[in-house]
């Protein structure tokens, strides 16, 4: 005779975990009458490897990575950055964002925007650190590049909402930086 035992939770407890995404909550108006006919594909953003997990995290002064209890990314961070940046760029005069990672580039003539995040994180002292080098390789071979480092971004330590707000502020400013740099003759 074989007996089976199992653990059954007859009183489920609701999850206290919150899931977060990057990007605007409301639709960003698409720029009408853009002079650019350029199409853009956003390549897979390169982010520090320790951010590959699903938990929101920050670093202590000693460099220890700490997870924020009850706070997770709703999607892989690289995908969230690409999606959010595509939304912010769609409201610019830069051109049309044809696609972004993880979806394939279906337009061979699309310019390719590469993003290399050297920093994308927060500290237990309340600083948000974002440092990204970017390059836009145009179909004709010309490459325009730049670096974005915000002056001051802060968050309320332990409050995921304020961290996401600071990250979105940085991505919005990055899109404006890219638009301004590309517009230069």
Domains delineated in the chain: 34-183 (3.40.50.10610)
- Structure confidence at residue 33 (pLDDT): 45
Average pLDDT estimate for 161-171: 97
Q: What are the CB-based long-range contacts (under 8 Å, 24+) for 159-163?
A: 160/18, 160/20, 160/56, 160/68, 160/70, 160/71, 163/56, 163/58, 163/68, 163/122, 163/128
Which of 21-30, 42-51, 163-172 has the lowest average pLDDT?
21-30
Residue 145 has pLDDT above 90, yes or no: yes
- Structure confidence at residue 6 (pLDDT): 61
106-130: pLDDT as tens digits: 888 899 999 999 999 999 999 999 9
């Amino acid at each position: 005779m074989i007996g089976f035992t199992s653990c059954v939770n007859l009183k489920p407890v609701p999850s206290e975990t919150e899931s977060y995404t990057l990007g605007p909550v409301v639709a960003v108006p698409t720029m009408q009458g853009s002079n650019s006919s350029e199409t853009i594909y956003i390549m897979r953003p390169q982010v520090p490897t320790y951010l590959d997990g699903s938990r929101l995290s920050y670093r202590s002064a000693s460099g220890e990575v700490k997870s924020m209890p009850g706070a997770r990314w709703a999607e892989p961070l690289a995908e969230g950055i690409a999606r959010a940046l595509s939304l912010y760029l769609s409201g610019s005069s830069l051109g049309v964002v044809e696609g972004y990672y993880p979806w394939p580039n279906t337009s061979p003539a699309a310019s390719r925007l590469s993003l290399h995040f050297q920093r994308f994180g927060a500290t237990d002292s309340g600083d948000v650190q974002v440092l990204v080098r970017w390059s836009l390789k145009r179909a004709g071979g010309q490459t325009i590049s730049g670096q974005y480092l915000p002056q001051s971004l802060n968050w309320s330590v332990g409050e995921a909402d304020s961290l996401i707000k600071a990250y979105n502020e940085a991505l919005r400013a990055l899109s404006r930086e890219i638009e301004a740099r590309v517009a230069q003759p």
